[in-house]
Amino acid sequence: MRHLRPAGILAAGIGAWAACGATARAQGLLPPTGVDTRVGDLRGYFEQAFGQVVPPEAGTHAWNYSASLDVSETYDTGVPISSGGNNQQAHDFITRITPSVGVTGDSARLVGSLFYGPSANIYLYHGNQNNIAQNLNGAATITVIPDFFFVDLRAFAGEQSITGYNGPASTNTVSSSNEALTTSFSISPTLRHSFSTLASAELGYTLSRTAYDANNAVASSTAAQVNQNFTSQQENAILSTGEDFGQFSDSLSANATQSSGTGPQSGAYSYNYSNSVSYAVTRTLFANGSIGHETYYYGGPTPYSISDVTWNIGARWTPNPDSSISVGYGHQQGNSSFNMDATYAATADTRIYARYSQGVGSQSQNLQTAVASTTVNSNGVTVDRTTGQPVVLTNNFFLIQTQNSLFRTSSFSVSGVLLWPRDIFNVSAQYQQSTQLTSGVVGVPASSNSSTGTYATFSWSHDVSDDLHTNALIQYGVNSGSGTGTVNGNQSAQGSFLLNIGMTYSISDTVSTSAQLTYTTEPTGILTATGTTSNTSEARVIAVVSLHKNF
């Protein structure tokens, strides 16, 4: 097996970022850094995420197509079901059939990637849990008029656990009664023009649709609280200085949005104006700052508004071509906060990512912001448009905030990867605090759904031979606060532990088989709050065998 170096991590997504423009990076909460671990092919996933699989080069007009089929059988001792209004666990066998297709490449008029892999889940004993889980990720840029008129497209669909406490994708099963379909689609026609090396201008419009759909939930009340959707229109304009200004750069921007939908997005609108400046102190160190004004209005049963001056001061350091560290402190969306976005290559075989952000929005608005700030590289990995670092758009550990409400959310994530010739080590941690600002339900207190969650994950992948690969993952975390509700009678705070081991064997160049075993305390959790309960936590064991075929 040939092992390449991850020197190209920042290159992933840079072309799409240049094409989409800086305005695609919406203000507010950004998605956490990290990867959605796909157990069974951990090395392959990281090689893709870190650019070790060389993408098509711009200008080569190369297009690649892929197709595969996965068939697996799962034995789960703790399938979450509902009986008589109470959540219970049951044993079941689950057959999964997952066809997937992918297309990626570059032509004179179209650059993009699209990956789609729906999964049919068939339960032997609990047929009411049968469903088709969606998995879609795509981004494309159409050049209508070279160097002037572009159209950017973005599409995302995925399933997310409603009650949280679940591990990374493929380490455990989420029944349809505890699952919400998340979708976000957008189209952005944009005009861009450069006035030689003096200045550049951009004028753009974005139409977006984002939704959470929990209609498969057994309890109709759960679906009513989780379901949310909104359509937004955004207009933006940017005027920036060019190369003639040397070490100094200046950017004047204006942005307006109008939304219609459920809860706080009903009749919502915002207006943002700012002027940002940057000065290159040295070749690797940049000082930057901005000042402006913002107006936000959210509708629903309890309207919420912000009208305030915005400002930020910070610095960006690029010690080497694969590293970029941006830090700052500023006032935005009615609150002063620290902000950070960092990628650091300590050596050729290591990457460290860290990010802290804060924003105001509903659950669906936060998802739309996250999708808008990312693209899909040629290997199917979701990456940040600016830094190229891999990010996670949906998270099965944190619960979905219900009641269709407005939140101020703070998110901190850090992850590190070490690559050896036959081993990959990954450590990550994430913290999220959501404070409810308004309630989407009349008569319900605004703080009734606030929550805090923290978890850490360690994974290790080892190549026994060119054909045999093993992996292990361990995760522990805690969700707490009034928004977590109760789990098996336990109040306020719950911890969850997960251990997963697996192996994959390549039968031929196109056929492989895998097996994995998961031990987890989800969904009953480990009692971490003060109090007693008559129910005891029951461990859950999940065994999976699968066959994979590439075409």
Residue among 171, 140, 169, 185 nearest 34 (CA)? 169
Per-residue confidence (pLDDT) for residue 34, from 0 to 100: 79
Per-residue confidence (pLDDT) for residue 36, from 0 to 100: 65
Please give the structure tokens belonging to residue 411.
């998110």
Residues with Cβ < 8 Å from 328, sequence gap 6 or more?
Answer: 288, 312, 313, 314, 315, 338, 339, 340
Residue among 183, 264, 178 nearest 214 (CA)? 178
Residues with Cβ < 8 Å from 309, sequence gap 6 or more?
Answer: 291, 292, 293, 294, 331
List the Cα angle 67/182/517 in 5-degree steps: 60
Tell me if 333 sits within 8 A of 360, measured CB to CB.
yes
Residues with Cβ < 8 Å from 470, sequence gap 6 or more?
Answer: 461, 462, 464, 501, 502, 503, 504
Q: Decide the pairing of beta strands 199-213 and 228-241.
A: antiparallel
Q: Give CA–CA dist 325/352, Å, rounded.
A: 11
- Facing residues of 462 across strands? 423, 470
Q: Give CA–CA dist 71/235, Å, rounded.
A: 45
Residue among 276, 374, 278, 344 nearest 29 (CA)? 374
Q: Which domains does the chain have, with CATH numbers?
A: 14-550 (2.40.170)
- Facing residues of 289 across strands? 277, 313
Question: What DSSP designation does 257 have?
Answer: E
CA atoms lying within 13 Å on the CB side of residue 130: 9
Per-residue confidence (pLDDT) for residue 536, from 0 to 100: 46
Residue among 239, 250, 240, 244 nearest 197 (CA)? 244
- Say what the pTM is: 0.86
Tell me if 482 sits within 8 A of 449, measured CB to CB.
yes
List the Cα angle 153/157/160 in 5-degree steps: 150
Q: Give CA–CA dist 298/291, Å, rounded.
A: 23
Per-residue confidence (pLDDT) for residue 400, from 0 to 100: 81
Give the DSSP per-residue string, 119-135.
Answer: EEEEESS-GGG-EEE--
CA 25 from chain centre, in angstroms, equals: 14
Sign of CA dihedral 163, 164, 170, 171: negative
Please give the structure tokens belonging to residue 66.
């892929």
Q: Which residues of the chain are under the pLDDT cut of 70?
A: 1-27, 36-61, 81-88, 169-170, 172, 217-222, 402-403, 440-448, 481-493, 522-538
Q: Give CA–CA dist 327/189, Å, rounded.
A: 31
User: By CB neighbour count within 10 A (0-12 exposed, 13-18 middle, 19+ buried), where does 282 fall?
Assistant: exposed
Per-residue confidence (pLDDT) for residue 484, from 0 to 100: 46
